[in-house]
Amino acid sequence: MEAKIKAFMDEVKSRNGHEPEFIQAVQEVAETVIPYIAKHKIYNGKNILLRMVEPERLLSFRVAWVDDNGEIHVNRGYRIQMNSAIGPYKGGLRFHPTVNASVLKFLAFEQVFKNSLTTLPMGGGKGGSDFDPKGKSDDEVMRFCHAFMLELNRHIGPNTDVPAGDIGVGAREIGFLFGMYKKIRNEFTGVLTGKGRSWGGSLIRPEATGYGTVYFADSMLKTKGESFKGKKVVISGSGNVAQYAAEKVLQLGGKVSTLSDSGGYIHDNDGIDAEKLAFVMDLKNNRRGRISEYADKYDSATYHAGKTPWEVACDIALPCATQNELGGDDAKTLIKNGCICVAEGANMPSTPEAIHEFHEARILFAPGKASNAGGVATSGLEMSQNSLRISWSREEVDQRLKDIMEDIHNSCVEFGKDADGYCNYVKGANIAGFVKVADAMLAQGVI
């Protein structure tokens, strides 16, 4: 089996060797899915995984825009349309200086499996730009978004490809992008998700990724007779996913000890309660400040510049910032300090070394493609509401989100149980996600 996996990876590397994040994401899937393919005749000899690692379409384009001083800037825009076997391409847009083809291909590849797991009819895609919204005025962000959509609009549509937010793309950016799409195409459709409430957005979509991650972690804890009640929870990031993960942890009776951004982390000994979280939401979403300001405001908190929060002892860790933010040594520290559960809110935040440590220690570990799928699942619910031209209540969307996260958890358990009863959620998510897409690809022939 190892030889088979190596031969496959050699072929992937020969075409994509310069794309480390993409190779990392494919390796993890290959290690779990190739043994499954070998045992299931219908998938033999069809080169399905090799077809899945090649994007159906990879778009790259110039985005030229003018800043407040009249200076012209050029950024690179992308959309990776990875797989449409089970529905229109679906996945977020990331605006961050680290964006490149490798990062977006890993995200688009993971999205294919994640979207399949949601049980909703969505293919996988991802896009974005190396544009950095930090430090830009609202007008500059608007001009960039409009320039980006001037090109992107011809490649997307409600039945073709439906982008949404990701790092650096929130409600403000989705508004500007939607406005320009509507202007150019002269149509009001559900071409983007994460829209504002009064113009087609779904209740709970802003909360969905963070809430969903905590619902998933709660399902994992239940398998051990545990819950969030009274647990100390360490969270990284302080953006959309981290904020709502923290909110749900508080609602379930847990204590949130940390939040972070790319500058460092804050540790609040007394816990980040609802009032302090409201301060963080205003700081990050309106004033666009740094998390260090939290420690200036609250005496109970300390700020640790240039560090990640994994050194803080906890019961549960929720990495909600970015890829490869939690390494092998961090994992060892978490385990040594008594952590029993790690659920990824971000995409691929744990390195392969970290995942190895979690599995070796037999603690609960959920990969992002399963545990953070609540965001895109609720985007799928937004698409349904747009198509039906109706709007579901907060309670209805939240219940559907809970049910979907429970279904994803059950699928992971079905495909991920090891002989000793330990659930390898990585294996479970990869195989469960693969089966649905592979079956659709088989049915549709070689295209």
Ligand X SMILES: NC(=O)C1=CN([C@@H]2O[C@H](COP(=O)(O)OP(=O)(O)OC[C@H]3O[C@@H](n4cnc5c(N)ncnc54)[C@H](OP(=O)(O)O)[C@@H]3O)[C@@H](O)[C@H]2O)C=CC1
Ligand Y SMILES: O=C(O)CCC(=O)C(=O)O
Mask 336-365, x = binds ligand X (CB under 6 A)?
A: ---------xxx------------------
Q: If we measure between CA atoms, which residue out of 227, 297, 231, 228 comes closest to residue 268?
A: 297
* Nearest approach, Cβ of residue 183 and ligand Y (Å): 22
Binder of residue 261, out of ligand Y, ligand X, none (CB less than 5 to 8 A by kind): ligand X
Tokens 């219940």, residue? 399
Q: Which of 84, 258, 260, 379 binds ligand Y (CB under 6 A)?
A: 379
Q: Which of 32, 257, 347, 350 binds ligand Y (CB under 6 A)?
A: 347
SS3 of 143, please?
helix
Does residue number 237 form part of the binding site for ligand X (CB under 6 A)? yes
Distance CA 281, CA 302 (A): 19
Question: HEC string of 46-92?
Answer: CCHHHHHCCCCEEEEEEEEEECCCCCEEEEEEEEEEEECCCCCEEEE
- DSSP tag of 43: G
Residue 90 contacts ligand Y per CB under 6 A: yes
Query: Per CB under 6 A, does 237 bind ligand Y?
Result: no
Residue 316: Cβ-neighbour burial (10 angstroms; 0-12, 13-18, 19+): buried
For this structure, is 6 an active site residue? no
- Does the protein bind ligand Y through residue 125 (CB under 6 A)? no
Q: Does 367 bind ligand Y (CB under 6 A)?
A: no
Query: Residue 36 and residue 348: Cα distance in Å, rounded?
Result: 22
* DSSP β-bridge partners for residue 258: 234, 267
Cβ-based nearer residue to ligand Y, 81 or 193: 193
Rg (CA), the chain: 21
Q: How far is the CB of 4 from ligand X (least distance, A)?
A: 31
Distances (CA, A) of 9 to 27, 29, 70, 193, 425: 7, 11, 48, 34, 22
Q: Is 61 exposed, middle or buried (0-12, 13-18, 19+ CB in 10 A)?
A: middle
376 binds ligand Y (CB under 6 A): yes
In this chain, which of 59, 117, 164, 203 binds ligand Y, going by CB under 6 A?
164
237 binds, among ligand X, ligand Y, none (CB under 5 to 8 A by kind): ligand X
Strands 124-129 and 89-95: parallel
CB of 399 to ligand X, least distance (A): 19
Query: What DSSP line would sit under 182-250, residue for residue?
Result: HHHH------SSS--GGGTPPTTHHHHHHHHHHHHHHHHHHTTT--STT-EEEE---SHHHHHHHHHHH
Q: Out of 104, 203, 321, 397, which residue is the one contacting ligand X (CB under 6 A)?
A: 321
Token couple for 99: 């964006």
Q: Which of 375, 416, 428, 433 binds ligand Y (CB under 6 A)?
A: 375
Taking 3-state DSSP, the helix, strand and coil percentages for the chain, each rounded to the nearest 5, stand at 50, 15, 30
Between 257 and 350, CB nearer to ligand Y: 350
Choices 147-155, 220-228, 371-379, 390-398; region in contact with ligand Y by CB under 6 A: 371-379
Residue 379, amino acid: S
Of 126, 232, 276, 369, catalytic = 126
- In the list 55, 77, 91, 124, the residue contacting ligand Y (rule: CB under 6 A) is 91
* Cβ within 8 Å of residue 89, ≥6 positions away: 81, 82, 83, 123, 124, 125, 160, 161, 162
Q: Which of 32, 102, 116, 193 binds ligand Y (CB under 6 A)?
A: 193
**CB under 6 A: which stretch of 7-15, 86-94, 250-258, 268-276 binds ligand Y?**
86-94
Residue type, 8: F
Among 88, 123, 127, 168, binds ligand X (CB under 6 A): 168
- Nearer to ligand X among residue 325 and residue 330 (C-beta): 325
Residue of the chain from 238, 257, 258, 430 that contacts ligand X (CB under 6 A): 238
Q: How far apart are alpha carbons 165 and 244 in whole angstroms?
A: 15
Q: Give 433 or 441: the residue with its C-beta nearer to ligand X.
A: 433
Contacts to ligand X from residues 63-122, by CB under 6 A = none
Q: Please choose which of ligand Y, ligand X, none residue 91 contacts, taking the beta carbon within 5 to 8 angstroms, the exact cut-off set by kind.
A: ligand Y
Per rule CB under 6 A, is residue 240 in the interface with ligand X? yes
Closest approach, Cβ 201 to ligand Y, in A, equals 12
Active site residue ranges: 126
What residues line the site for ligand X (CB under 6 A)?
165-168, 170, 209, 237-242, 261-263, 320-322, 325, 345-347, 372, 375
